[in-house]
Amino acid sequence: MQREAVTVWNRCLQVIQENIPDQSFRTWFEPIVPLRLNGSELTIQVPSQFFYEWLEENYVHLLRKALNFAIGHHGQLQYSIIVDKGDEGSKPLTVNVPTTKSPQTAKPDNVDADILKSPFEMKDLDSLQLDSYLNPAYTFDNFIEGDCNRLGRSAGFAIAQNPGTTAFNPLMIYGGVGLGKTHLVQAVGNYIKNNNQDKFVLYVSSEKFTNQFINAIRTDSLRDFMSFYMQVDVLIIDDVQFWAGKEKTQETFFHIFNHLHGAKKQIIMTSDRAPRDLQGMQDRLQSRFKQGLTADLQQPDLETRTAIIQKKLQSEGIFIENNVIEYLAHSINTNVRELEGVIVSLMAQASLNRREIDLDLARNTLRNIVVDSEKEVTIDTVQDVVADHFKVTVADLKSKSRKKEAVFPRQIAMFLAKEQTELSLKSIGYHFGGRDHSTVIHAIQTISDLVSNNPQARETVEKLKSTLK
């Protein structure tokens, strides 16, 4: 490793770390080794072909940004890939592969396109018009429909086919983090853009809108700003809750909204909460938000989670056994982003360790993610802790055995799983050898009664809970 390369790469990492979640940073950037710096060309070593492709596919913009910062605009990146020679059994080789895609043509990564930092000018408007910030990866085809999102998806699809002329104007999609709001509204935008070349579709985050507005005031170009927005045919604004308390932004948007709505132009918005709960939002704007259709996105149910995992694997060209898919779908029920995060980590682990994605790997990956981010307890941890305490095996907990030594720990584990995780009764039953939910209810009831009446049982449960913390 060359010292200059390390220094430059550390500067790149500063930028990278600021722009992506910790988990992605650890997975995709920590394993990289800076090898050498040759003039303005930095060579980094990556653990596999898959790794390299993933970086190019998902982080090419971020790498460009990091290179600009660390080396300058002329900075170049060279990958050195460790190649697995497989059956030939020889030691891994290192080959040099130049960056194949230019940052301009590759798919956008997860980093927000730069907010207009320079003074607001008409040329910025032109660039906005060309780009429109839509990510082509978000489509209806890869948006899985389920009870959790049916209303929003159907309304979105109806709008995509007839923008501005349905009763769903505006369409307000709301829901918690990572449930697909951005994906859905961008799918509408992409569909319209692809099928109506003449329509001007603009996707913008509410934060970016506010920044543009502030710049417009600063540079005395508010008129340009307003007339730009009034030319839009389909305006998609993400995360409007950000406008809470921003009176001037709200006022300006109110005028744009009225103009577009009156001209039968389509407006689509997302928010992390229902319009009625948007505190700090002017009443007149709130009532406009509710004028069309408001649809919420809920946490996906088991079937939808399974379909999302299948679709994601299919799009990555990866095959894993059904039992692993089932395990993942039963184990992660928070939101889709987390589900995707686990799949990506699994792929990275499989690639790094050169092994298949099996149940063991899934179990370990899930445990590490949960431990790393200090999140809630997993069902695997509950089973391990209970098995350890009662000196039985996890297999005993999952078995059909009716022996007392297995039944009592199993019931305690089910009780704790219900109390300490977010899993449904159905998923808990799945993790205990495929039992049905009535068995889980019975176990929970039995242990609740025992805890109320028997101090020793209460003490055991408390002790187990503190071990889980």
Ligand X SMILES: Nc1ncnc2c1ncn2[C@@H]1O[C@H](COP(=O)(O)OP(=O)(O)OP(=O)(O)O)[C@@H](O)[C@H]1O
| Residues annotated in a binding site for ATP | 178, 180-182
Select 144 or 159, whichever has its Cβ closest to ligand X.
144
Angle formed by the axes of helices 359-372 and 322-331, to 10°? 20
Select 201 or 464, whichever has its Cβ closest to ligand X.
201
Q: Measured from the CB of residue 273, what is the shortest distance to ligand X in angstroms?
A: 10
Select 19 or 252, whichever has its Cβ closest to ligand X.
19
Report the residue from 11, 26, 259, 337 that binds ligand X according to the rule CB under 6 A: 337
Closest residue by beta carbon to ligand X: 180
Q: Measured from the CB of residue 369, what is the shortest distance to ligand X in angstroms?
A: 16
Q: Does 272 bind ligand X (CB under 6 A)?
A: yes
Please state, in angstroms and rounded to a whole number, the distance separating the CA atoms of residues 63 and 55: 9
Q: Measured from the CB of residue 308, what is the shortest distance to ligand X in angstroms?
A: 5
CB 266, CB 164: distance < 8 Å: yes
Binding mask 152-181 for ligand X (x = CB under 6 A): -----------------------x-xxxxx
Q: Measured from the CB of residue 195, what is the shortest distance to ligand X in angstroms?
A: 21
Q: Does 143 bind ligand X (CB under 6 A)?
A: yes
Q: Which tokens is 459 given?
A: 């003490």
Select 308 or 397, whichever has its Cβ closest to ligand X.
308
Cα dihedral 319, 321, 324, 326 sign: positive
Select 29 or 203, whichever has its Cβ closest to ligand X.
203
Parallel, antiparallel or unpaired: strands 293-297 and 266-271: unpaired
Radius of gyration of the chain (CA): 26
Q: Measured from the CB of residue 184, what is the shortest distance to ligand X in angstroms?
A: 7
Select 75 or 178, whichever has its Cβ closest to ligand X.
178
* Cα angle: 256, vertex 262, 267; to 5 degrees: 60
In the numeric block, the tokens 């679709």 are attached to 311
User: For 374-403, where are the alpha helices, taking DSSP H only?
Assistant: 379-390, 394-398
Q: Does 182 bind ligand X (CB under 6 A)?
A: yes
Site for ligand X in 285-324 (CB under 6 A): 308
Q: How many residues interact with ligand X (rule CB under 6 A)?
A: 17
Please state, in angstroms and rounded to a whole number, the distance separating the CA atoms of residues 99 and 355: 26
Select 149 or 420, whichever has its Cβ closest to ligand X.
149
Which residue from 210, 257, 260 is spatially nearest to 231, judged by alpha carbons? 260
Q: Measured from the CB of residue 271, what is the shortest distance to ligand X in angstroms?
A: 9
Please state, in angstroms and rounded to a whole number, the distance separating the CA atoms of residues 412 and 101: 55
Please state, in angstroms and rounded to a whole number, the distance separating the CA atoms of residues 259 and 261: 6
Residue numbers in the known binding site are: 178, 180-182
Name beta bridge partners: 202. 235
Q: Does 189 bind ligand X (CB under 6 A)?
A: no
Q: Measured from the CB of residue 307, what is the shortest distance to ligand X in angstroms?
A: 8
Determine the interface stretch with ligand X among 8-16, 61-69, 142-150, 276-284 (rule: CB under 6 A).
142-150
CB 250, CB 217: distance < 8 Å: no
Please state, in angstroms and rounded to a whole number, the distance separating the CA atoms of residues 255 and 238: 18
Please state, in angstroms and rounded to a whole number, the distance separating the CA atoms of residues 262 and 259: 5
Of all helices (H) and strands (E), which one includes residue 117? Answer: none
Q: Does 207 bind ligand X (CB under 6 A)?
A: no
Select 141 or 462, whichever has its Cβ closest to ligand X.
141
Name beta bridge partners: 293. 171
In the numeric block, the tokens 């300058």 are attached to 72
Q: Measured from the CB of residue 30, what is the shortest distance to ligand X in angstroms?
A: 22
Site for ligand X in 221-240 (CB under 6 A): none
Q: Measured from the CB of residue 58, what is the shortest distance to ligand X in angstroms?
A: 11
Site for ligand X in 71-100 (CB under 6 A): none
Site for ligand X in 369-398 (CB under 6 A): none
In three-state secondary structure terms, 261 is helix
CB 244, CB 279: distance < 8 Å: yes
Please state, in angstroms and rounded to a whole number, the distance separating the CA atoms of residues 156 and 192: 11
Report the residue from 66, 336, 343, 361 that binds ligand X according to the rule CB under 6 A: 336
Report the residue from 65, 183, 208, 410 that binds ligand X according to the rule CB under 6 A: 183
Report the residue from 144, 369, 387, 425 that binds ligand X according to the rule CB under 6 A: 144
CB 185, CB 295: distance < 8 Å: no
Q: Measured from the CB of residue 268, what is the shortest distance to ligand X in angstroms?
A: 13
Q: Residue numbers of the site for ligand X (CB under 6 A)?
A: 142-144, 149, 175, 177-183, 272, 308, 336-337, 340
